[in-house]
Structure 1
Amino acid sequence: MSISTPTSRPLLRLITALATAFMVFSTGALAQNLPEFTDMVRENSPAVVNISTTQSVQGNRGGMPDMPGMPDPDDLPEGHPFRDFMDRFRDDDGQRSPRRDARSLGSGFIISEDGYILTNNHVVEDADEIIVRLNDRRQMVAELVGADDRADLALLKVDGEGMPTVRTGKSSEVEVGEWVLAIGSPFGFEYSVTAGIISAKQRSLPMENYIPFLQTDVAINPGNSGGPLFNLDGEVIGVNSHIYSRSGGFQGISFAIPIELAMDVADQLRDGGEVNRAWLGVVIQDVTRDLAESFGMDRPEGALIAQVLPDSPAGAAGLEPGDVVLEFNGNDVATSGALPPMVGQATVGSTVPVVVMRNGEREKLEVELAQLPDDMGQQSNEQSRAQPGVFEELGLAVEPLNAERRDALGLDDDVTGLVVAGVSGGPAADAGIESGDVITRVNSEPVDGVEPFTSIIDGLESGQSVPLLVLRDQSQRFLALRIP
């Protein structure tokens, strides 16, 4: 039992008052350290636009979905109940396949006072009509000036003068951990504002390796695509483009195209309607710790050349398989994912210095870059698959488990399989595969070489999951790899 005395009560009140004051002060100090977005949103919202498109697509018979086993009404006799029912859906010309409008939503932002707008290509691709809705509720029909599928960017034009525009900054100067903000129309909710931080820089994504993406934790959902990513100075530093998700909705990882690259593409589309990119002509992979040691390197770094493509600038300059690219045009190449954006943003026809590690020694070569061929997206994938063990569509590179690697991993002589030489995102990363893993079985079939592995993978259908038995740290586990 406690006893309260007259002298203790004032002391208790004083302590309570001081504690309350401290809590209020601490909360106020914390609030002062948080960024203030209201002025920035108010200033930039007029230059952000909502984009809606319509596309005329062929409808199914009678406007109803095709179903396995459903008979064609024309094959049924006159007077059949099902045929009579379906005839109700014919148009005036007796056609059962009317065209209908498919709609999509996205975002964009105005980059010039005369009405040029930047957005993602996938927002307006194959659109018959593009409608731009401004912050003041005006609607305009936009013209597609040009699009770049590789960068997933499109340039639009509306008639206007003195239109509000965004200010562009430098994504190269943003630091990991800085606050950023997005304005867009997720799920059609116009001018929604979300904020977060820069999570990483120069991210490489499968099939889009010419873009050094900014990774953020800003909430991005369908409808945000093509919208701006701002820094705290109110400058656009990126174009919101992708999310990484297992569910289709936002799960904490989103990607933006750096604004310098986006504006370069926009300038080329405005000037000539197409985009030119430099081409080196190599198939590359990550340098693992084991590979670095085997090449006499102090640590894993650079981009390992697995193949030099025929009639390429790399071949003409004397680059060889086994070379590790450490520097390109004066810039350090930290990982294999860093090289393609450097090449893509270089000037076509320019001669650039390339520093490689070859036979344990650094060598400097001069490479005259050519223009990336129009079919190189498809050709590059085919060439990558032609190189044994490189599966670009999976984000995976594997190598045979030879005696040297078996000894390095401390494995018994009777262990067979494939060593994972590199993982560059995509389905392999989603499955949890890591460099140094040993794949011993695929779909319950043992694999003792690249050819059996390739045969099994090529025999699977898109969207199918296949179990891999993986040996890691002397223990086995199953991982599920989904075929893209």
Structure 2
Amino acid sequence: MSDLNTSSPRRRRRSMLLGAVALAALAGAGTVANLTLAPPPAAHAQGTTSPAAPVVVPGQASFADLVDKVKPAVVSVRVKIAVDEQDDGPSLQQFGFPPGSPFEEFFRRFGAPDQRQQGPGRRGAPRRFGEAQGSGFFISEDGYIVTNNHVVEKSTEVEVRTDDGKTLDAKVIGTDPRTDIALLKVDAKGPYPFVPFAATLPRVGDWVLAVGNPFGLGGTVTAGIVSARGRDIGAGPYDDFLQIDASVNKGNSGGPAFDLAGNVVGVNTAIASPSGGSVGIAFAIPAETVQKVVGEIRDHGTVRRGFLGVQIQPVTQDIASSLGLDKAEGAIVARVESGSPADKAGIKTGDAITAVNGKTVKDARELSREIAGFNPDTTVKLDVWRDGKQRAIEVKLTALPDDPQSASAGEENEGGSLGLRLAPAGSVGGAGKEGVVVVGVEPNSVADERGFKTGDVIIEVSGQKVESPADVRKAVAAVRKEGKKAVLFRVQAQEGTRFIALPIGN
């Protein structure tokens, strides 16, 4: 495994060995007399009835009493995954060629003779399955469980193993790839031990405790501190991770990070590592984000997000000076999408959005998170800096176009179902005047898997030049109508011009 700085978004995401926070060992910490752990904040989550009671640890620093309280609520998650049917057929060695032979690449690409005759996935071949493991935790006594989306996203069967050794079947209620959260529900009736979410974010330096399932071992407890907050690791459009100096390993994905009162402060999802093992840099999704996502999935079956309809970039010090702003804060509007809520409300290119409902936004990423946090049809007040003056503009949000409930999802979305958000190249600074620029790539989408990146410029689709998102939609629709299984893009990327073939549904 490599670290987060791999060149491909797909490889970068895979390089983050997904797991729960294993907190730094207390070796050399010495003893602390009469240590009293802070009382818990008020419970703030659906499905909870009361917060965990504060734990008093006499004599020396120990988390044993706290572990006794929270460990029964943590489970191991095991999923069955259908593997793409592929019969490897005879091996290279069976044809008399040693490993490393020049024919190895030929056989890898085209298969052995009997493979070429029958083809991969030939009729009658048995279906193959693989297994994956992760962690999770009960959030209600009636059996709702939180874990990571990447743990269950390709599952055909899900089962959980509780701390007391019981194995229970579970079903996926819903998932949110943008935040990597999934909600499960066990079939068997409870009650089940559960843990509440923390009402507030931990401070940098606060202790955190984790229980997880590293390498399938189950029930592993570790401790450490919060190293930083608000981390953007490129995992998704709404990154806002807690960073913890935790030992995180494969199989810990979806496990909880607790404060000293037994409240969940985060769901552990990734690490940064040049070697594939823990180096003490782990990332957890904050409890506040998890609560919102889980509540939406539980109540509506999907996550509804507000949509403003602007392309934005951070306000740098130079931009702030040119606009007459005192601080380099907020987001400047680079483009307003025609017919969008922002367009209807009178937002213009060059406006600097500095606050939402009176809350200051520090940068473009924070503005995106704030807007996405509102439900569609919500009216918000934006503080906008224009022509040297501050003004308030009310905007009625609609549903995010990529949202499955949005009327503009699927074929109406600018990238179709491929996971691309597009804009004319001439409307984006630095992109040139020809082609269509990629202004966003949906995490885990077909485009993401094939290596599309924000900033790529699409020059041709299926041999036809394109100048607008509508041209791309039209070209993709034409290829689909012809019954083809993939569409070919010619793309100008940072590393040069290349072709990318994207599979399309019919």
| TM-score in terms of structure 2 length | 0.65
- Which stretch of the first structure deviates more once superposed, 309-318 or 41-50? 309-318
SS at match of 2:421: helix
Q: What CA distance in whole angstroms lies between the structure 2 residues aligned with 1:60 and 1:54?
A: 17
SS at match of 1:337: helix
- How does 1:390-469 map onto structure 2 within 5 Å? 454=492, 456-457=494-495, 459=497
SS at match of 2:343: helix
| Alignment of 1:54 onto 2:80 | yes
The aligned residue for residue 167 of structure 1 is 196
| Alignment of 1:383 onto 2:409 | no
Contact 2:333 2:348 in 1 (8 A): yes
Contact 1:288 1:300 in 2 (8 A): yes
Q: From the superposition, tell whether residues 330 and 218 of structure 1 become closer, same or farther in structure 2 (CA, over 3 Å).
A: farther
Contact 1:107 1:185 in 2 (8 A): yes
- CA deviations on 1:219-264 (whole Å, 9 max, x unpaired) are 2222111111111111012111222334433333322222222222
Contact 1:309 1:383 in 2 (8 A): no
Q: From the superposition, tell whether residues 377 and 230 of structure 1 become closer, same or farther in structure 2 (CA, over 3 Å).
A: farther
Q: From the superposition, tell whether residues 204 and 62 of structure 1 become closer, same or farther in structure 2 (CA, over 3 Å).
A: closer
Q: What CA distance in whole angstroms lies between the structure 2 residues aligned with 1:384 and 1:275?
A: 25
Q: What CA distance in whole angstroms lies between the structure 1 residues aligned with 2:91 and 2:271?
A: 30
Q: From the superposition, tell whether residues 275 and 53 of structure 1 become closer, same or farther in structure 2 (CA, over 3 Å).
A: same
| Alignment of 1:72 onto 2:112 | yes
- CA deviations on 1:144-189 (whole Å, 9 max, x unpaired) are 112222222111111221110012112x442222111221112222
Q: What CA distance in whole angstroms lies between the structure 2 residues aligned with 1:107 and 1:254?
A: 15
The aligned residue for residue 475 of structure 1 is none
SS at match of 2:106: coil
Contact 2:31 2:61 in 1 (8 A): no
Q: What CA distance in whole angstroms lies between the structure 1 residues aligned with 2:133 and 2:424?
A: 36
| Alignment of 1:256 onto 2:289 | no
- CA deviations on 1:275-296 (whole Å, 9 max, x unpaired) are 2111111222122222222222
Q: From the superposition, tell whether residues 136 and 197 of structure 1 become closer, same or farther in structure 2 (CA, over 3 Å).
A: same
The aligned residue for residue 359 of structure 2 is 331
SS at match of 1:355: strand
Q: 2:273 aligns with which of 245, 254, 259?
A: 245
Q: What CA distance in whole angstroms lies between the structure 2 residues aligned with 1:270 and 1:315?
A: 33
Aligned length: 370
Contact 2:422 2:440 in 1 (8 A): no
Contact 2:306 2:399 in 1 (8 A): yes
Contact 1:120 1:225 in 2 (8 A): yes
- Which stretch of the first structure deviates more once superposed, 59-68 or 359-368? 59-68
1:456 shift after superposition: 4.4
| Alignment of 1:204 onto 2:232 | yes
| Alignment of 1:213 onto 2:241 | yes
The structure with the greater share of residues assigned to helix is 1
- Which stretch of the first structure deviates more once superposed, 267-276 or 246-255? 246-255
Q: What CA distance in whole angstroms lies between the structure 1 residues aligned with 2:179 and 2:116?
A: 50
Question: In structure 2, what residue type is equivalent to 1:256?
Answer: A
Q: 1:45 aligns with which of 29, 51, 71?
A: 71
The aligned residue for residue 177 of structure 2 is 149
Contact 1:204 1:338 in 2 (8 A): no
Q: What CA distance in whole angstroms lies between the structure 2 residues aligned with 1:165 and 1:306?
A: 46
Q: What CA distance in whole angstroms lies between the structure 1 residues aligned with 2:91 and 2:290?
A: 40
The aligned residue for residue 54 of structure 2 is none
Q: What CA distance in whole angstroms lies between the structure 2 residues aligned with 1:377 and 1:270?
A: 29
Contact 1:351 1:366 in 2 (8 A): yes
Q: Which has the higher contact order (CA 8 A, sep 6+)?
A: 2
CA RMSD of aligned residues (A): 3.6
Q: What CA distance in whole angstroms lies between the structure 1 residues aligned with 2:374 and 2:168?
A: 36
Contact 1:385 1:392 in 2 (8 A): no
SS at match of 2:252: coil
Structure 2 unmatched ranges of 5 or more: 1-28, 37-59, 93-103, 404-408, 432-437, 442-452, 455-490, 501-506
1:127 shift after superposition: 0.7
Contact 1:225 1:242 in 2 (8 A): yes
| Alignment of 1:36 onto 2:62 | yes
Question: In structure 2, what residue type is equivalent to 1:44?
Answer: V
- CA deviations on 1:69-121 (whole Å, 9 max, x unpaired) are 225343899xxxxx9xxxxxx99x995x5432211111110111111111111
Contact 1:207 1:393 in 2 (8 A): no
Q: What CA distance in whole angstroms lies between the structure 2 residues aligned with 1:195 and 1:290?
A: 43
The aligned residue for residue 482 of structure 2 is none
Contact 1:350 1:368 in 2 (8 A): yes
SS at match of 1:168: coil
Identity %: 39
Q: What CA distance in whole angstroms lies between the structure 1 residues aligned with 2:377 and 2:306?
A: 8
Q: From the superposition, tell whether residues 75 and 304 of structure 1 become closer, same or farther in structure 2 (CA, over 3 Å).
A: closer
Q: 2:163 aligns with which of 98, 122, 135?
A: 135
SS at match of 2:237: strand
Q: What CA distance in whole angstroms lies between the structure 2 residues aligned with 1:343 and 1:65?
A: 54
- CA deviations on 1:297-346 (whole Å, 9 max, x unpaired) are 22311122222222211111111222222111221111222111111111
Contact 1:63 1:98 in 2 (8 A): no
- CA deviations on 1:183-210 (whole Å, 9 max, x unpaired) are 1112222122222222232333436223
Question: In structure 2, what residue type is equivalent to 1:353?
Answer: K
Question: In structure 2, what residue type is equivalent to 1:161?
Answer: G
Contact 1:215 1:255 in 2 (8 A): yes
- CA deviations on 1:400-459 (whole Å, 9 max, x unpaired) are xxxxxxxxxxxxxxxxxxxxxxxxxxx99xxxxxxxxxxxxxxxxxxxxxxxx9554452
SS at match of 1:131: strand
SS at match of 1:209: coil
Contact 2:74 2:212 in 1 (8 A): yes
The aligned residue for residue 307 of structure 1 is 335
SS at match of 1:338: helix
- How does 1:223-242 map onto structure 2 within 5 Å? 223-242=251-270
Which of the two has higher C-alpha Rg?
1
SS at match of 1:237: strand
- Which stretch of the first structure deviates more once superposed, 241-250 or 268-277? 241-250
Q: From the superposition, tell whether residues 174 and 27 of structure 1 become closer, same or farther in structure 2 (CA, over 3 Å).
A: closer
Q: What CA distance in whole angstroms lies between the structure 2 residues aligned with 1:151 and 1:384?
A: 24
